[in-house]
Every structure is written in C-alpha cells, then in structure tokens.
Amino acid sequence: MFEFAGGEQAFMALAAAHHRRCLEDPVLNHPFSHPGNPQHVERLADYWAEVFGGPPRYSTSFGGHSAMLGIHAGQGADEDLGARFVTCFIQAADDAGLPDDLDFRAGLRAYMEWAVREVLSYSPPEVVVAPGLPAPRWGWNGLE
C-alpha cells in the first residue's frame, strides 16, 4: 500500500493534511494545538509509511509502536475524539491527493478505525504500555 499511495511523499502530504484538519476541528484542536515535538508531522508520516509497508524509520529512530502508544497513553480521550480523528484522516487522504481507488481507501479507513480503537484502549490514566511492541503492518487484506 505504501508504494501504491505514492511512497514517502504521499505519506508526508497525508500527515501534513491530517494535522491541518485536526487543527481546524473544534475538538481535536485542543490536543493538536499544544506545542509538542516540532517534527510531529514528519514523525507521523514516518509512522504511517512504516505501517503501510514503507521503511521502518519510525521504529529505528523514534522508539516504534510502544513509543507512539506511550505518547497517547493515559490521556483520557473519549470515543468522539476517535471518530473525529478518523474523519479528518479520510478527508486528509483527499487533500493529499492519495489514489481514489476504492480498495485502497477502504484499507486506509479500516486501518485508522483499528488504530483509533487501539489508541483509545490506552486512554485510561492507569494504563501502562509494554515496551518493544512491533509496529503494526497493514496491507491490502488488513492487519498482517
């Protein structure tokens, strides 16, 4: 899916468009507007690229799946936040000019719905993220 999307440039465009959309959303704006890592968009692009079959840059440079979950763990996010995040992701795929192929778009949506459920499961304050979790790999048939 990484190559079909257009490689690293496509995932950078997706991450940038998604970040913009989240900033424009009245609920998602709060967590996205706080000063965080100045390379957030680039790291997000690296993470998504890796998930969809690109190079393992996020895992080798930024701590992998456990690190990503750790950033979001214990935040007390509610379900509405997840639904809004998915909507922004789907709209960002259009903004970024990703292929309009039905199977590809269904795969993107299925991944993000799965990912949001996983991240939200780490939302309670007492949750601990296990170290060393491998990055998920998402292909044309879902989680690999």
Rounded to two decimals, what is the model's pTM? 0.93
Helix, strand, or coil (residue 54): coil
pLDDT band (50, 70, 90) for residue 79: low
Q: What domain range is 135 assigned to?
A: 2-143
Is the confidence at residue 35, as pLDDT, over 70? no
The predicted model gives 76-82 an average pLDDT of 76
Supply the CATH number for residue 65's domain. Answer: 1.10.490.10
Helix, strand, or coil (residue 144): coil
What pLDDT score does 13 carry?
Answer: 98
49 and 57 Cβ atoms separated by less than 8 Å: yes
Number of independent structural domains in the chain: 1
Amino acid of residue 35: P
Give the integer Cα–Cα distance in Å for 21 and 112.
15
